[in-house]
């Protein structure tokens, strides 16, 4: 009986190609949309959280003034003595790196590239999760004397050196020549969308003397050791800096201590909201696909009711008719669901590459959208049939 | 005449609806039909002829009274048992043909055999033979839309007789056809009655078509009005 019913179901699918196609299409679109959107949303969230963890999640940033960004509202910059004071007085500060940024053009032979030169110390690398792909970091003499040495990022290497190995070569920054002693491993885009690898790093003193021409430090980056509490170190830093900058008790801070964890949370929560939004849009398309299926099934119910009448009249049992309709609905829904999953996988892989976010296969959403659309297909394919098969054969035959 | 009748109806009634809106379509029908008869059921619209036909075909159930088919009390059968009775003993031809759309003649004729669980080879052979008997050899792979009304009714007849039923029930089989085609269909049905011994019950309102039958039953207003047998022309 099962075999014969399967045959009848497949014949019914074949002779109603248009209806079958539209049913499958509704499911395909719904399933593919949901899976693609959620997969891309997950990829984007993953990529943002990856970038944040590449930034280091236990970093504190000190900037002069109360606003984030250049300017700082006229508040004084930091001095090198601040770095030493933090190192000596705050035990929870594991790495303390001063940062001076200066835009400059780097030249190597015929190639030139406008980049940002960062003056800092060796603490900068472990604090920011930077690793060296080749060469070494600064030595003590170079730092103290402000020698013309630099460590370059992956983007700068690519633009200036192409396929060659840069370590040991001399590049020209403004009027001076500078030996490349190291190459950083690529980190890709930052969470804010800028290229972190587009950088040239030099000892702090080199930048102060040759590029910025002042003793000022724009920013301090402090990494908190795992055993210390971030908030504790943050408070200590605030107190220390208030003292060093001679801020009276009634006055506000003229600097700000920022916690990258806060930045991280803000950014990931944004992409999570975005993923939810995409998911909601996709859920609507699943629903629209479902309504499409419902329409097709309900429109064809008159024809199918007569068909059921014919089948009953020539001796089909009610359960044989029902089984046939159930098989039809399951076969169509499964085909639609599987095509949808295949299509979604292809589209997600393609779009993930285009958007340069990682592709993450999410079995949960695949299963969920498959089951949901299959349920719609079975529900609207099967239940009208069940009503029709329960009629007296003559009423089903006369159905208008 | 001591042989058991094929069909025996006694005090059969059918009421549609209930309460004030109730309509009594059959008001007590007593009828006996022997195997091999060709019976035409006539009467004006609403006289109960189609209702009787549907009850005889187990497509509908009576409100009261008894219906015996080959000594089986049909009113005691379950829905599934009535379906099995249709499957094994009855064949239907309808006014509107009632073929499956977009389905070839061969597959339409095969359908009752699939429900009987016949294997593919048997099905194909029997369906081809049935189509040949109704004069549709060469039309096996045409769908109803590609066939004329007369041809569609021939497919329906082939589907009805492919299982070698005991009774062929025809409800206005020529109602949608022109005179010439109607006569061809009637001759086909008559041939199955004469040559294969299939009992034929046919509802019609056309005296020309009823003339093919050997027994004519007239319904008026839910009652049997007359029952006349035509003497066999020698």
What ipTM is given for this predicted complex?
0.93
The predicted-structure confidence for A214-244, as pLDDT tens digits, reads as follows 888 988 999 888 888 888 898 899 999 998 8
At A376, the pLDDT band (50, 70, 90 cuts) reads: confident
CA distance A30 to A22: 12
Nearest CA-CA partner of A168 in A155, A152, A153: A152
A284 has pLDDT over 50 = yes
pLDDT (average), residues A112-132: 90
Locate the domains of chain A by residue range. Answer: 2-52+265-397, 76-253
> Over 80: is that where the pLDDT of A267 sits?
no
Q: How far are the Cα atoms of B42, B135, B150 from residue B183, in angstroms, in the given order?
A: 18, 14, 10
Task: Give the integer Cα–Cα distance in Å for B136 and B128.
Answer: 9
Using 50, 70 and 90 to split pLDDT, how confident is the model at B169?
Answer: very high
In terms of phi and psi (left: phi > 0; alpha: psi -120 to 50; beta: otherwise), the region of A101 is: beta
Strands (E), A19-147: 59-64, 93-108, 111-120, 132-135
Specify the length of chain A in residues. 400
Q: Looking at CA atoms only, how far is residue B194 from chain A in angstroms?
A: 23
Confidence of residue B234 (pLDDT cuts 50, 70, 90): very low
Distance (Å, whole) CA B193 – CA B102: 30
Run of H or E including B219: strand B215-220
Residues of B in contact with A314 (CB under 8 A): 86-87, 91-92, 111-112, 115, 159
Closest Cα in chain B, distance from residue A379 (Å): 24
- pLDDT attached to residue A56: 66
The stretch A282-292 carries a mean pLDDT of 82
Are B210 and B40 contacting, i.e. CB atoms less than 8 angstroms apart?
yes
DSSP state of B19: G
Cα Rg of chain A (Å, integer)? 33
Three-point CA angle A105, A106, A107, nearest 5°: 120
What does the pLDDT average to over B26-41? 95
- Probe site for chain B from A1, A17, A308, A314 (most B CB atoms < 10 A): A314
Chain B CB contacts of A9 under 8 Å are none
pLDDT, residue A70, reads: 52
Q: Who among A303, A319, A394 is closest to B54 (CB)?
A: A394
pLDDT over threshold 80, residue B85: yes
Closest chain A CA to residue B101: A15
3-state DSSP assignment of residue A135: strand
Pairwise CB contact (< 8 Å): A314 & B115: yes
Quickly state the pLDDT bin for A67 (edges 50, 70, 90). low
Q: Token digits for B164?
A: 């070698």
The predicted structure's pLDDT at residue A26: 84
pLDDT at B123: 94
Read off the pLDDT band of A47 (50, 70, 90).
confident
Q: How many CB atoms are closer than 10 A to CB B149?
A: 16
Give the three-state DSSP class for A101: strand
Domains belonging to chain B, first-starting first, are 7-229 (3.40.50.300)
Return the pLDDT at A387: 84
Among A386-395, B38-47, B67-76, B169-178, name the one with the lowest average pLDDT: A386-395
Mean pLDDT of the B198-224 span? 94
Strand runs labelled E in chain A: 59-64, 93-108, 111-120, 132-135, 149-152, 170-173, 176-184, 199-203, 219-224, 255-259
Is a pLDDT exceeding 70 seen at residue B2? no
- Which residues of chain A does B77 touch, with a Cβ-Cβ cutoff of 8 Å? none
Per-residue pLDDT tens over the stretch B142-163: 999 999 999 999 999 999 999 9
Q: What percent of chain B has pLDDT over 90?
A: 89
Residues 6 or more apart whose Cβ sits within 8 Å of residue B155: B97, B99, B105, B108, B109, B131, B134, B136, B144, B147
Sequence-ordered list of residues with C-beta below 8 angstroms from that of A328, at least 6 positions apart, any chain: A9, A12, A13, A381
Whether the pLDDT of residue B212 is over 90: the answer is: yes
Give the pLDDT score at A200. 93
* Chain A environment of B130 (Cβ under 8 Å): none
Question: Cα dist. B57→A111, B16, B91, B165, B187 in Å?
Answer: 94, 18, 8, 12, 22
Q: Residue A195 gets which letter from DSSP?
A: B
pLDDT band of residue A375 (cuts 50, 70, 90) is: confident
A318 near B CB under 8 A: yes
What is the chain B residue with the closest CA to A303? B101
The pLDDT mean for chain A works out to 86
Nearest residue, CB atoms, A310 vs list B54, B98, B102: B98
* DSSP run (H or E) holding A51: helix A17-55
Furthest-apart CA atoms within chain A: distance in Å:
103
């Amino acid at each position: 009986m099962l075999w014969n019913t399967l045959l009848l179901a497949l014949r019914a699918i074949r002779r109603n190609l248009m209806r079958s196609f539209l049913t499958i299409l509704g499911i395909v679109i719904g399933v593919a949309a949901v899976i693609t959107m959620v997969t891309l949303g997950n990829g984007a969230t993953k990529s943002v959280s990856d970038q944040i963890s590449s930034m280091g999640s236990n970093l504190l940033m000190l900037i002069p003034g109360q606003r984030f960004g250049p300017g700082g509202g006229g508040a004084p910059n930091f001095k090198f003595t601040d770095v030493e004071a933090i190192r000596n007085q705050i035990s929870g500060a594991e790495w303390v790196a001063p940062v001076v940024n200066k835009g400059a053009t780097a030249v190597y032979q015929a190639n030139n590239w406008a980049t940002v030169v960062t003056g800092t110390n060796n603490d900068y690398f472990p604090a920011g999760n930077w690793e060296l792909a080749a060469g070494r970091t600064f030595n003590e003499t170079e730092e103290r004397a402000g020698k013309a040495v630099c460590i370059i990022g992956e983007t700068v290497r690519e633009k200036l050196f192409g396929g060659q190995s840069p370590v040991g070569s001399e590049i020209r920054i403004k009027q001076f020549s500078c030996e490349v002693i190291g190459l950083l491993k690529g980190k890709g885009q930052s969470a804010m969308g800028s290229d972190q690898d587009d950088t040239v790093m030099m000892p702090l003193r080199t930048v102060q003397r040759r590029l910025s021409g002042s003793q000022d430090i724009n920013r301090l980056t402090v990494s908190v050791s795992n055993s210390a509490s971030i908030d504790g170190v943050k408070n200590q830093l605030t107190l220390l800096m208030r003292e060093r900058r001679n801020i009276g008790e009634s006055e506000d801070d003229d600097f700000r201590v920022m916690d990258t964890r806060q930045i991280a949370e803000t950014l990931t929560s944004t992409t999570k909201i975005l993923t939810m939004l995409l998911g909601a849009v996709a859920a609507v398309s699943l629903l629209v696909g479902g309504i499409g299926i419902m329409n097709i099934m309900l429109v064809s119910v008159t024809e199918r009711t007569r068909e059921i009448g014919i089948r009953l009249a020539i001796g089909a049992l009610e359960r044989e008719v029902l089984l046939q309709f159930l098989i039809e609905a399951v076969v169509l829904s499964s085909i639609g669901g599987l095509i949808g999953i295949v299509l979604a996988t292809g589209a997600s892989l393609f779009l993930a590459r285009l958007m340069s976010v990682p592709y993450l296969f999410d079995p949960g959403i695949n299963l969920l959208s498959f089951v949901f659309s299959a349920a719609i297909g079975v529900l609207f394919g099967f239940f009208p049939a069940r009503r029709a098969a329960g009629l007296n054969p003559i009423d089903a035959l006369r159905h208008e | 005449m001591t042989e058991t009748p094929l069909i025996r109806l006694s005090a059969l009634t059918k009421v549609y609806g209930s309460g004030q809106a109730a309509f009594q379509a059959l008001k007590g029908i007593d009828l006996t039909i022997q195997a091999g008869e060709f019976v035409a059921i006539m009467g004006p619209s609403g006289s109960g002829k189609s209702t009787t036909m549907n009850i005889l075909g187990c497509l509908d159930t009576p409100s009261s009274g008894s219906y015996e088919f080959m000594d089986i009390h049909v009113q005691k059968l379950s829905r599934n048992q009535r379906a099995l009775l249709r499957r094994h003993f009855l064949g239907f031809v309808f006014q509107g043909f009632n073929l499956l759309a977009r389905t070839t003649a061969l597959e339409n004729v095969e359908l009752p055999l699939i429900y009987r669980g016949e294997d593919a080879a048997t099905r194909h052979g029997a369906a081809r033979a049935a189509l040949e008997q109704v004069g549709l050899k060469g039309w096996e792979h045409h769908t109803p839309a590609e066939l004329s009304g007369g041809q569609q009714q021939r497919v329906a007849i082939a589907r009805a007789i492919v299982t070698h039923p005991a009774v062929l029930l025809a409800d206005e089989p020529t109602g949608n056809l022109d005179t010439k085609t109607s006569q061809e269909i009637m001759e086909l049905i008559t041939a199955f009655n004469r040559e294969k011994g299939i009992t034929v019950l046919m509802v019609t309102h056309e005296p020309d078509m009823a003339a093919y039958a050997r027994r004519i039953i007239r319904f008026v207003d839910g009652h049997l009005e007359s029952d006349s047998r035509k003497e066999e022309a020698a």
